[in-house]
Amino acid sequence: MATEGFKPVVAIYSTFLQRAYDQILHDVCLESLPVVFAIDRGGIVGEDGPTHHGLFDFSYLRSFPNMVVMAPKDENELGRMLATAILHPGPIALRYPRGKGVGVCLDDVPEPLRIGKGEILAEGDDILILAIGRCVSVAMDAMRVLREKEISATVVNCRYVKPIDSELICRLAQQISRIITIEEHVLHGGFGSAVLECLCDAGISGCSIKRIGIPDTFVEHGPQGVLRSKYGIDANSIVMCAEELIIQ
């Protein structure tokens, strides 16, 4: 499958990739082949029906040995992740949502990222918000609302679901014990679960953690904004979770 000078790239909807579970596992990951999975329509898709939401990819992809799983916060980081994927010697997936970008400037030459490293976007002492993918911009919106309420928040663009940035997350969790994770994905086995596993493996306890994501259900047909509001994948939900953590 992999030949010299050739980099296989699979561009596919998240919902359709589910049908190739066995092929990804046995034909790519088992051999650790350098295949790039560009996963479109990750998250709530909208008015294409309940079969088209891409809400399960983090869970099954991160369980595969040799697989790297990442999600960009914006269109410029998507370019950087694609550059990262092209250089990576094994299987790697980048998952991005349906819709417009957030409107950031694009680099002329996208610079590759360090595998498994997130970035701190805002710093505060009261709440730690760990976000992935399009939810990073939602977390930043929530941070600004919380600031008006005199609640300071550290916001992390985690970038990677696997390998998760355990060094950064554990260091911050030891400093800020109130933690919120947010993802546009089912909660079972997703990004928030990866954070919990990370903290457990490091022996970090005493944290108050709230996970924001899709509950154990199939999401129905509907406009993206309406569905995100219904399932709490928005800044208002982060703000409410933060306030609940503060008064505990």
Who's near 189: CB < 8 A, 6+ residues apart? 58, 59, 60, 62, 63
pLDDT, position 55: 98
- Would the pLDDT of 97 be above 50? yes
- State residue 1's pLDDT score: 43
Per the prediction, the chain carries an average pLDDT of 96
Confidence of residue 5 (pLDDT cuts 50, 70, 90): low
In this prediction the pTM is 0.96
pLDDT interval class at 49 (50, 70, 90) = confident
Res. 3 pLDDT band, cuts 50 70 90: very low
For residue 2, the model assigns a pLDDT of 43
